[in-house]
Amino acid sequence: MSPTRSCGILLHPTSLPGRFGIGEMGPEAYHFLDFLAESKQRAWQVLPLGPTGYGDSPYQSFSAFAGNPLLISLERLVADGLLRPADVRETPSFPEHRVNYGSVIQFKTAMLTRSFERFRAGVRPHLQDDFDAFARDSSAWLEDFALFMALKEAHGGAVWNTWEPDIAGRQPQAVGRWQRDLSDSCYRHKYYQYLFSKQWSALKGAANERGINLIGDTPIFVAHDSSDVWAHPEFYHLSAQGEPTAVAGVPPDYYSDTGQLWGNPIYRWDVMKESGYGWWIDRVKATLAAVDIVRLDHFRGFEAYWEVPAGEKTAVRGRWVKGPGADLFHALRHGFSVHNLPLIAEDLGVITPEVTALRDQFELPGMKVLQFSFSGGVARMEPPYQYPRNCVVYTGTHDNDTAWGWFRYSASAEEREMALKYMGTDGREFNWDLIRLALSSVADVAVVPLQDVLGLDSESRMNYPGRATGNWTWRFLPGAITVEMKRRLADMAEVYGRCRGQEVGSGR
> Which strands make up the sheet holding 246-250, listed edge to edge?
260-265, 246-250, 304-309, 319-322
Say which of 80, 297, 303, 415 is annotated catalytic.
297
Phi, psi angles (nearest 5°) of residue 367: -120, 145
Give Cα separations from 25 to 22, 69, 269, 323, 339 (angstroms): 10, 10, 36, 36, 33
Contact status, residue 58 vs residue 472, Cβ threshold 8 Å: yes
Establish whether 297 is a catalytic residue.
Answer: yes
Q: How many other C-beta atoms lie within 10 A of the C-beta of residue 182?
A: 19
C-alpha 364/C-alpha 338 separation (Å) is: 13
Buried b (16+ CB within 10 A) or exposed e, 266-290: bbbbeebeeeebebbbebbebbbeb
Give Cα separations from 137 to 218, 245, 287, 488 (angstroms): 21, 35, 15, 44
C-alpha 249/C-alpha 396 separation (Å) is: 21
C-alpha 23/C-alpha 38 separation (Å) is: 21
Establish whether 80 is a catalytic residue.
Answer: no
Say which of 346, 347, 401, 444 is annotated catalytic.
346
Give Cα separations from 85 to 79, 80, 333, 436, 449 (angstroms): 9, 11, 48, 45, 34
Establish whether 399 is a catalytic residue.
Answer: yes
Nearest to 475 by CA among 439, 450, 458: 450
What's CA 182's distance to the chain center, in Å? 30
Say which of 166, 399, 429, 457 is annotated catalytic.
399
Q: What is the DSSP string of 253-290?
A: -SS-TT-EEEEEEPB-HHHHHHTTTHHHHHHHHHHHHH
C-alpha 27/C-alpha 16 separation (Å) is: 10
Phi, psi angles (nearest 5°) of residue 332: -65, -45
Name the H helices within 121-226. 126-137, 139-154, 165-168, 172-181, 183-209
C-alpha 415/C-alpha 209 separation (Å) is: 42
Q: 3-class DSSP state for residue 8?
A: strand
Q: What is the DSSP letter of 243?
A: -
Q: 3-class DSSP state for residue 217?
A: strand
C-alpha 157/C-alpha 288 separation (Å) is: 30
C-alpha 402/C-alpha 41 separation (Å) is: 20
Contact status, residue 135 vs residue 194, Cβ threshold 8 Å: yes
Catalytically active residues are 297, 346, 399
